[in-house]
Amino acid sequence: MKKAILSWSGGKDSALALFFCRQSAQYEIVGLLTNVNKEFGRVSMHGVRTELIEMQAEALGLPLYTLEFPGDVSIEIYHSLVAQRLTEFKNQGITHVIYGDIFLEDLRHYREQQLNAIGLQAVFPLWNQNTVVLLAKFVQSGFKAVLVCVNENYLPKTWVGRELDDTILNDLPASVDPCGENGEYHSFVYDGPLFTKPVAFQLGETVRRSYPKTGQWDTDFIFQDLISAKR
């Protein structure tokens, strides 16, 4: 069986990628890899506290590896740190890295190019699947998640903290991909068929953050803080 590490954001797509790979039984997933903003102790882009990602990994029964970046990391340093960590995995006998990407061609090409340079292979178990079907599969399989970040250009503040359940498909605007593949929203999975126990948390404050404009990327987001309720 091929040894693999899974790129883990803590959200829906990561959980589905893990779910599908477990079902296929083609890969021995030896751990989860999460990018963390070192300055804030949170997952990059999703804004989830690292402690909650650690609780996810514990409930999934998998080791968690974090790749920490300074808050103002340059793209050159980012590439260097990623390459260093991936090389470490290769030296440990890992041959594949699994991603939850669905249809962003440029992102897939970037990942494949990065891994090929090191001698690893990328795996995309969700690739080109219908996102309406994927979201329905997520809910019907028994996963539970909450929205932790929304792009303010697509969804209002009232959506953060909302359960990612079967009402979402009916309420999403037509401009929003059902799985948020264009960055319209991000989620945190706290229970499901892969979990030995739910991740206990409570809702914290809601925060709006704007980032410097870079190319075509959106800059305004609403974050829902989650606080560990671990006893």
Taking only the tens place, the pLDDT of each residue in 64-113 is 999 988 877 778 888 889 999 999 999 999 999 999 999 999 999 999 99
Select from 123, 152, 176 the last residue of a domain.
123
95 and 178 inside one domain: no
Residues 65, 48 share a domain: yes
> Domain range for residue 137?
131-228
Share the mean pLDDT of the chain: 92
Q: Which amino acid belongs to residue 177? A: D
Could you tell me if 6 and 114 lie in one domain? yes
Tokens 């990942």 belong to 111
CB-based burial label for 1 (10 Å; 0-12, 13-18, 19+) = exposed
Closest among 140, 108, 110, 111 to 127, alpha carbons compared: 108
pTM > 0.75: yes
Q: Residue 78 has what pLDDT?
A: 85
Q: Are residues 135 and 67 in the same domain?
A: no
Q: Looking at 64, 95, 123, which one is the last position of a domain? A: 123
Q: Are residues 38 and 74 in the same domain?
A: yes
The rounded radius of gyration (Å) of the Cα atoms in the chain is 17
Q: List Cα–Cα distances, 89 to 16, 22, 102, 156, in angstroms.
A: 22, 20, 24, 40
- Taking residue 78's Cβ as centre, other Cβ atoms within 10 Å add up to 15
Confidence of residue 215 (pLDDT cuts 50, 70, 90): very low
